[in-house]
Amino acid sequence: MTLQFAWPWLLLALPLPLLSLRWLPRAKDASAVALRVPFLAVLRGSSLLQSRSRAARWRRIVATLAWIALLLAAARPQVLGESVQIPVTGRSLMLAVDISGSMVNADMQIRGRQVSRLIAVQALANDFLARRVGDRVGLILFGREAYLQVPLTLDRQTVAALLGEAQVGLAGRETAIGDAIGLAVKRLRDQPEKNRVLLLLTDGANTAGAVDPGKAADLAAQEGVRIYTIGVGGDEMRITTPFGTRRLPATDLDEGLLRGIADKTGGRYFRARDSAGLARIYAELDAIEPASEDALSYRPVYELYTWPLGIALALSIVAALPMRRPAAKASAARERKHA
């Protein structure tokens, strides 16, 4: 904590009342009437004049204190708080996560436990988001339709929480990759150039949607959006039938399409065959698109001028009270005399 004055030069006006008494001419007395009192020496020793002299002295002291307090308020005393670090906003990163029907396939492992593709994406995305300090992150969930779940925000905890609540099939069973890219470009186009990034995670081919993925990638390239595509899923799928679980080759993933989207926009294509591979991809993305390490700092300012201003007001009222009391007493005495 540091005490300072925003306008300390105003304190130079402190001796102004003394200078005015010394150099300014006194007001001329318009009245030429005078009362000659032969016993003036006796009056000077009376208690009435002494009390008035003491009252005038106290008024001058109180008025001086009020003037000092008023100047302190005008100089704007402030207290500077401790320095606070603010991360500089780095990337504008949009996550587009596939929640189509095939994301329920349990061909991923986390700590030796077989989990679905979506659960693996959700679990590992939490660590990825935690490292994106300073980035604005948004979330798009897509299946047959693409929906903006979270707009770009610095609140990465909310993004992670809403991604964790996503369920397979909520957006339809098909996969609209083109619509997801188009929606992401729409949300990123107003962000600073060279910082627009889309991370697209899917396990299938484009089977729905109104926008062709290739044309959506061309639009992304025009808007300066880099797209990193991640193909999620093992080399084979497990299908449960009345006769048991069957293993079939995973032929749904259109790697050529995902690689072409990434190449058009200056991004890269990754293949995540298991959770360990997906974790390595997230780490590599951190190296390719590093989070902002710069930071701004500021010190909060707390204004204190209200305190000396209030003291000056209170002292001014106190200084004015003795000037009004003798007049009030004289008026009361006259009323008692005429009564």
Between CA 120 and CA 231 the distance in angstroms is: 13
Strands 136-142 and 113-115: unpaired
Strands 77-80 and 301-303: antiparallel
**For residue range 264-275, what is the model confidence (pLDDT) as tens digits?**
999 999 988 777
Distance between the two ends of the chain, CA-based, in angstroms? 65
Residue 187 to residues 85, 93, 160, 191, Cα–Cα distance (Å): 28, 10, 19, 8
Tokens for 116?
A: 């679905």
- Using DSSP's 3-state secondary structure scheme, residue 325 falls into helix
**Beta sheet of 2-5, edge-to-edge order:** 2-5, 77-80, 301-303
pTM check: above 0.85? no
278 CB neighbour count, 10 Å cutoff: 25
**For residue range 144-168, what is the model confidence (pLDDT) as tens digits?**
999 999 999 988 899 999 999 999 9
What one-letter code names the amino acid at 79? V
Average model confidence (pLDDT) across the chain? 81
CB under 8 Å, gap of 24 or more: what pairs does 46-50 form? Answer: none
So what's the pLDDT on residue 328? 47
Between CA 76 and CA 308 the distance in angstroms is: 9
Mean per-residue pLDDT pooled into runs of 10, the chain (339 residues): 89 89 73 57 54 74 91 92 66 91 82 83 85 87 94 91 91 92 93 87 88 94 93 66 56 83 93 82 81 63 92 88 52 55
Quote the strand ranges of 82-195, DSSP E. Answer: 84-87, 92-98, 108-110, 113-115, 136-142, 146-153
Tokens for 296?
A: 């701004």
Whose structure tokens read 């979270």? 150
- Using DSSP's 3-state secondary structure scheme, residue 243 falls into coil
Q: Where are the domains of the chain?
A: 1-10+46-82+299-339, 86-296
Strands 108-110 and 92-98: unpaired
Q: What is the CA radius of gyration of the chain?
A: 40
**For residue range 29-87, what is the model confidence (pLDDT) as tens digits?**
655 555 565 655 555 555 555 666 676 788 888 888 999 999 999 999 999 888 766 65
168 CB neighbour count, 10 Å cutoff: 19
CATH 3.40.50.410 fits 86-296, yes or no: yes
